[in-house]
């Protein structure tokens, strides 16, 4: 058993699908885990609201790792773009993480979630594409800003996290497109996240976890 995370504090943003799974995996690895949600109740961080970030940073004090799983996707063709939803999408993936870096004392690493759509332009995915691409660039630049604290991004392909429940065609199409012949599983993500939190020579990088999709 690898006990390098034992006793370390991990703040996970996002109390839903992958956020919950990452929190459980980090807890099982011996970390002391805090989960922040933008919904009321418990530790509250809304990445659209800097005051909630500052308040949580003051409440928790220094943390070893921060993992941001937040997303507020706005999938719309350019003619139907909603400005407020576009700003919210950038808050979750880009501006919010910069503010996390501003307010939190992070001792070891910051991990941002990107996504494969950032590298695969298609009509209707301009906001999700640009925000996910920008998350990877944010990791690269924050790595220089926060050094020697490490900053990386994880860019998953389609993951059967629960977010696609009711849309089996998404998972079926993903299985056809990957080289490994299946969509991603939650354990694929949690294993990679734990590795990235422990990987002390990895910074400024984006890991593409997408089953070798061509
Ligand atoms: N599942 C996939 O196929 C897939 C593929 C590529 C990339 N990803 C990325 O992986 C990450 C997690 O995905 P998921 O499948 O777990 O989807 P999800 O359940 O929709 O996760 C999104 C999270 O964002 C949080 N959130 C939303 N607005 C927020 C805000 N204003 N402030 C703070 N938190 C906010 C939500 O948590 P609360 O409601 O608790 O705040 C939720 O846990 C996302 O960044 C997503 O883009 C997923």
- pLDDT by residue (tens digit) across 145-189? 999 999 999 999 999 999 999 999 999 999 999 999 999 999 999
Which residue's CA is the closest to the ligand 1 atom numbered 43? 14
- C-beta of residue 91 within 8 angstroms of C-beta of residue 53: no
Residue 36 pairs in a beta bridge with 13
pLDDT at 214: 83
pLDDT of residue 127: 98
Confidence of residue 13 (pLDDT cuts 50, 70, 90): very high
CATH code at 9-209: 3.40.50.720
* pLDDT (tens digit per residue) in 46-86: 999 999 999 999 999 999 999 999 999 999 999 999 999 99
Q: What is the atom index within ligand 1 of the atom nearest the CA of 35?
A: 40
**What tokens does 92 get?**
């979750």
Which residue CA neighbors atom 24 of ligand 1 most closely?
70
For the CA of 158, the nearest atom of ligand 1: 3
Ligand 1 binding residues, C-beta < 6 A: 13-19, 37-39, 45-48, 69-72, 92, 113, 115-116, 156, 158-159, 161, 163
Query: Which of 12, 13, 18 is the pocket-test mutation for ligand 1 (most atoms within 8 Å of CB)?
Result: 18
pLDDT at 1 exceeding the cut of 80: no
Q: How far apart, in Å, are the Cα atoms of 77 and each of 12, 87, 128?
A: 31, 16, 11
DSSP labels, the chain: ---TTTT-EEEEE--SHHHHHHHHHHHHTT-EEEEEBSSSSSSB--TT-HHHHHHHHHHH--EEEEEE---------GGG--HHHHHHHHIIIIIHHHHHHHH--EEEEEEEE--GGGGS--TT-HHHHHHHHHHHHHHHHHHHHHTTSEEEEEEE-SB-SSTTTT-HHHHHHHHHHSTTSS-B-HHHHHHHHHHHHH-TT--S-EEEESTT--
Tokens representing 163 are 């977010």
Is a pLDDT exceeding 90 seen at residue 116?
A: yes
Closest ligand 1 atom to residue 132 Cα is: 47
Residue 196 has pLDDT above 90, yes or no: yes
Predicted local confidence at residue 50, as pLDDT:
98
């Amino acid at each position: 058993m690898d006990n390098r995370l034992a006793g370390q504090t991990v703040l996970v943003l996002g109390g839903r699908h992958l956020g919950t799974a990452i929190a459980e995996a980090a807890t099982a690895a011996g970390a002391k885990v805090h989960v922040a949600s933008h919904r009321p109740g418990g530790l509250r961080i809304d990445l659209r609201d800097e005051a909630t970030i500052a308040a949580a940073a003051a409440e928790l004090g220094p943390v070893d790792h921060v993992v941001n799983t937040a997303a507020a996707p706005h999938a719309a063709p350019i003619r139907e773009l909603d400005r407020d939803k576009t700003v919210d999408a950038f808050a979750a993936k880009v501006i919010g993480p910069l503010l996390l870096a501003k307010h939190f004392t992070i001792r070891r690493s910051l991990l941002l979630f990107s996504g494969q759509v950032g590298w695969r332009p298609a009509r209707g995915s301009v906001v999700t594409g640009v925000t996910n691409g920008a998350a990877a660039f944010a990791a690269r630049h924050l790595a220089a800003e926060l050094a020697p604290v490490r900053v990386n991004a994880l860019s998953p392909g389609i993951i059967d996290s629960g977010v696609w429940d009711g849309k089996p065609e998404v998972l079926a199409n993903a299985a056809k497109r990957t080289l490994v012949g299946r969509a991603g599983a939650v354990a694929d993500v949690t294993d990679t996240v734990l590795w990235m939190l422990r990987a002390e020579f990895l910074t400024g990088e984006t890991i593409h976890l997408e089953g070798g999709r061509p």
